[in-house]
Structure 1
Amino acid sequence: MWVCSGSPLVAEICAGAGLDWLLIDAEHSPNGLESVLAQLQAVHGYPGHVLVRPPVNDTVLIKQYLDLGAQNLLLPMVNSAAEARAAVAATRYPPHGVRGVGSALARSARWNRIPEYLARASETISLTVQIESASAVDAVEDILAVDGVDAIFLGPSDLAASLGLLGQQEHPKVRAAVEHCLLSAMAAGKPAGVNAFNPDTARHYLGAGAAFVLVGADVALLARGSEALAAAFVNRQDDAGTASY
């Protein structure tokens, strides 16, 4: 599930829920470096995998997220093999990449307490790139072929918008594009994931070859749960409404 609240406490609650994996999101959520760090610390030691999504595929940001100790990155809006190669380079120290060397200052190396971290750092990192545009779908085989791209993740919402179908994630053209990418990933021997809050859609994509699926978000669960309480206990005839934003 998504972890979007920016709260370490909420992240820890989710981490103990028994889910396979969490995504700490900084693209569409109020998360900065400090709050991402606090959430990584809060969920450390719980079972399950944790991915972190920076707001953009940027070399400097990737360096900072890795130094925080994020080991599994999900990078949004990767539209070509060239962009995928740049992402891989950002996760690798020279001569294999361009990651800046700051291990003595960083949680990732436990402040130089991890022996041979500089030589072994790439072994501790996974890189998943998001396919969420028509151009990325067209280039998915080339993106999957990039050495260092460990997995792809499909974003049907942005993909629908790119196809001129804003808000229509369930449209047959969107589902066909997602399924094409799932098949391409299986052919390349790499896992593919997809965002699917609709349970039937999630099960469909799992049956179509998705290796991992996002099926909910902390903020969405809170929104729908609080709405259900209001519907059950608030008499709207007596409610003048409140003005807020």
Structure 2
Amino acid sequence: MRARCSARFRCPIWPCCSKAADWTFFIVDTEHGGFDHAALSGLIMTARLAGITVLVRLADHARRDITRLMDMGADGVLLPMTGSKEDIAAVVRHAKYAPVGRRGISTTRGHTFYAPPALRDYMRQANERTLVFAQIESKAGLDAIEEIVGLNGVDGVIVGPNDLACDLDCLGEAAPILDAIAAVAAAARRHGKVGGIITSEPAFLRHAKANGMGIYCIGSELHMLKLACRGITQQVEELQR
């Protein structure tokens, strides 16, 4: 998956803009973003119609949210602060149908475009396309990385450097995070899973690439908007000189 960024506020055309920019996916951030279910449903359906993959970063591993998001048609979910095999196992259980998980069955929904095929075939197809990622951003997650990434139904692991640095008490220090990136990437390779990172820090991105990670999520739409606003301010100031 090629990289891109996360969405944190409601913008109905965001999936279309992402597709036009030749992105392959974006993340809707329900951990920090203020989305209601109506907004999420619209974003997810627009993304599906536009042909771009949409992942949702969860607030936690509660069944209620995961079931709704998957029935809206989300392509996958990302669990922040994954600290154990049990944490991400709960997400797999709620996001994937039997025999992999225990996702509740309700098929005339957005995830089937309201035209469900034969149930047994659809459950298999849905499990194949549904992505489950663990976000590693704590010492507990690093310590349990082999069990987390080795779990059936987990498709990959993504490093969150900011919270990880906070938990490791190394804010402003690059070396511990570089070591963590390498460790997570190595574990992912051993289990045939994909590794990735969410960051705008060039050194971390280069290190992730050097260690074979394949997912790079860089910044957010708020970050891009702020940079664009600053650019406009600079243009106006130059005109006034």
TM-score interval for Structure 1 and Structure 2 normalised by the shorter chain: 0.7 to 0.9
Q: Cα–Cα, structure 1 residues 14 and 119, in superposed 2: closer, same or farther, change >3 Å?
A: closer
Instruction: Report the equivalent of 1:153.
Output: 158
Structure possessing the higher radius of gyration over alpha carbons: 1
Shift of 1:99: 2.2
User: 2:207 aligns to what?
Assistant: 204
What residue is the counterpart of 1:88 in the other structure? 92
TM-score, normalised with respect to structure 1: 0.86
2:21 aligns to what SS in structure 1? coil
Alignment of 1:187-198 (within 5 A): 187-198=190-201
CA distance in 2, matches of 1:200, 1:137: 20
How far apart are the structure 1 equivalents of 2:41 and 2:212? 33
User: 1:68 maps to which residue?
Assistant: 72
Contact 1:54–1:65 under 8 Å retained in 2: no
Query: In structure 2, what is the equivalent of residue 243 of structure 1?
Result: none
Q: Deviations over 1:120-167 (max 9, x none)?
A: 43223111111111100010001111111111111111111111134x
Q: Any stretches of 5+ residues in structure 1 without a counterpart?
A: 236-245
Percent identity, please. 25
CA distance in 2 between partners of 1:43 and 1:219 (Å): 19
Is residue 137 of structure 2 the alignment partner of residue 129 of structure 1?
no
Question: Are residues 1:39 and 2:62 paired?
Answer: no
Q: CA RMSD in A?
A: 2.1
User: Any gaps of 5 or more consecutive residues in structure 2?
Assistant: none
User: Which residue identity lines up with residue 165 of structure 2 in the other structure?
Assistant: A
Label 1:46 to 1:203 Cα distance change in 2 as closer, same or farther (>3 A).
Answer: farther
Matches of 1:120 and 1:9, distance apart in 2? 28
What whole-Å deviation, never above 9, does each CA across 1:86-145 have from its counterpart, x for those lacking one?
1111123456533222223x2113335333234543223111111111100010001111
C-alpha separation in 2, matches of 1:30 and 1:111: 27
* Equivalent residues of 2:199, 2:217 under 8 A apart: yes
**1:12 match: secondary structure:** helix
Q: TM-score, normalized by length of structure 2?
A: 0.87
Q: Secondary structure of 1:99's partner?
A: coil
Structure 2 CA distance for aligned equivalents of residues 127 and 198 of structure 1: 25
Amino acid at match of 1:36: L
Give the Cα–Cα distance (whole angstroms) in 2 for the partners of residues 127 and 158 of structure 1. Answer: 20
AA aligned opposite 1:59: R
* Matched AA of 2:110: R
Secondary structure of the equivalent of 1:19?
coil
- The AA in structure 2 aligned to 1:24 is V
Residue type at the aligned position of 1:172: A
Match of 1:228 among 193, 215, 231: 231
- Shift in alpha-carbon separation, 1:198–1:153, aligned structure 2, 3 A: same
Distance 1:19 1:111, change over 3 A: closer
Larger relative contact order, structure 1 or 2 (CA cutoff 8 Å, min sep 6)? 2
Q: Secondary structure at the match of 2:219?
A: coil
Going from structure 1 to structure 2, the CA distance change for 1:47 and 1:64 (only over 3 Å counts) comes to closer
Counterpart of 1:241 in structure 2 is: none
